[in-house]
Chains A and B, each alone.
Chain A
């Protein structure tokens, strides 16, 4: 079973700064079936990125995903106030969906 480990656990930044969130898989992924979700307080998760690097419909272009194999990254180029939330990576593609434990992005 592949385990996804996200880092850091908490990231403290200011609006306008660049955020880099990491998701590491315990084994190399055969495909780029890696997604990123944003969850704001009191809300359901929202799909941001799928296929490791493809933005979902309506997602601003300040969000970008990259990576392959075991290391994946979500980058937010210039933080807006509404971007402060918890971010989860997810492995999909087979019968089980595995989530990382999440990274909390908080205002510094």
Chain B
């Protein structure tokens, strides 16, 4: 089955750190660009980070730049998000999402999403 499964979400204190993981299965993970998207409770979707297939190209939203680090391990079919200096504003459901790859050379729409992992930042 083609799927993405996130894990690692937890309750963390302000200023703390957390590492999220996303396990891919059922497709050739190494050939797809990947993203993290978050959704605060009751709010809309916010793209936060992108990584190219080999990890050479990485982009972040301004809201997380300098605090979050995206990475991937193609041998393990896994995507990661290291989150540091967390604050209440980072409380959200974090999704990993796959670039569809429908248009070569274009950062594409997201055709596969995981179910998300919840991060709560609170004292």
CB of A96 within 8 A of chain B? yes
Q: Spot the interface stretch: B11-19, B73-81, B84-92, B100-108.
A: B100-108
Contact residue range for chain A? Answer: 20 to 34
B113's partner among A44, A94, A100, A102 (CB-CB below 8 A) is A44
- Closest residue of chain A to B50 (Cβ to Cβ) is A95
Closest to A100 in B: B44
Check A97–B47 contact: CB distance below 8 A.
yes
Complex Cα distance, B47 from A100, in Å, reads: 11
B44 with A47: CB separation less than 8 A:
no
CB contact under 8 A between A47 and B107, given known A96-B47, A99-B44: no
Once the chains bind, are A44 and B47 in contact (CB under 8 Å)? no
Chain B residues in 8 Å Cβ range of A51: 102-103
Residues 88 to 104 of chain A near chain B (Cβ within 8 Å): 88, 90, 92-102
Which residues of chain A are near B114, meaning CB under 8 Å? 44
Complex contacts, A43 vs chain B, CB 8 Å = 115
When chains A and B are docked, how far (Å) is the Cα of A98 from the Cα of B61? 10
Per CB-CB distance, the 6 closest pairs between chain A and chain B, nearest first, are: A35-B109, A97-B47, A44-B113, A50-B109, A95-B59, A99-B45
Q: List residues of A whose CB falls within 8 A of some B CB.
A: 33, 35, 37, 39, 43-47, 50-51, 56-57, 88, 90, 92-102
9 inter-chain pairs at a CB distance below 8 angstroms, sorted by A residue, are A35-B109, A45-B45, A46-B113, A56-B111, A90-B109, A90-B110, A96-B59, A97-B110, A102-B44
Chain B residues in contact with chain A, CB under 8 A?
A: 35, 37, 44-47, 50, 57, 59, 61, 95, 97, 100, 102-103, 106-111, 113-116
